[in-house]
Amino acid sequence: MAYDDNNVFAKILRGEIPSKKIYEDQYALAFHDIAPARPIHVLVIPKGKYEAFTDFAAKASAAEIAGFYQAVAKAAQIAGVTEAGYRLIANTGVNGGQEVPHFHVHILGGGAVGPMVARK
């Protein structure tokens, strides 16, 4: 599927809609989720046009992949969750419950995040 340039995170990257940015470098942008699911809920997105993790892993350069995950670690540090712990989530595709089609990692913390997923 082709990358949708009108997805909300593409608009945030272009500065067309505002975000509460906590960290940015050449590879990634980190900002607060608009509807936090935990006291700390930060999203980290790569600057390249990747629809989901699968796409990112297959097509991004080694430098982009390393730079992105280093940015995730920096964002966690800046958000203040590194010492107490946190959860990273990358919802992927339909079954993964991904809503925004630009690859992103959620950083959740600021208290115990709880069970990994609800058991069926």
**For binding to ligand 5GP (CB under 6 A), which residues are involved?**
8, 17, 19, 31, 33-35, 43, 91, 97-100
Comparison of 54 and 91: residue with beta carbon closer to ligand 5GP: 91
Nearest approach, Cβ of residue 117 and ligand 5GP (Å): 13
Tokens at 36, concatenated: 């936090």
Question: Do residues 92 and 53 make contact, with C-beta atoms less than 8 angstroms apart?
Answer: yes
Tokens at 31, concatenated: 């900002």
Nearest approach, Cβ of residue 33 and ligand 5GP (Å): 5
Comparison of 9 and 27: residue with beta carbon closer to ligand 5GP: 9
Catalytic residue selected from 32, 41, 102, 104: 104
Chain centroid to CA 27: how far? 12
Tokens at 15, concatenated: 């500065």
Active site residue 32: no
Comparison of 35 and 118: residue with beta carbon closer to ligand 5GP: 35
- Report d(CA 26, CA 46) in Å as an integer: 9
- Report d(CA 86, CA 66) in Å as an integer: 20
Q: What CA dihedral angle connects 74, 76, 79 and 83, to 10 degrees?
A: -110
Nearest approach, Cβ of residue 103 and ligand 5GP (Å): 9
Return the active site residues: 104
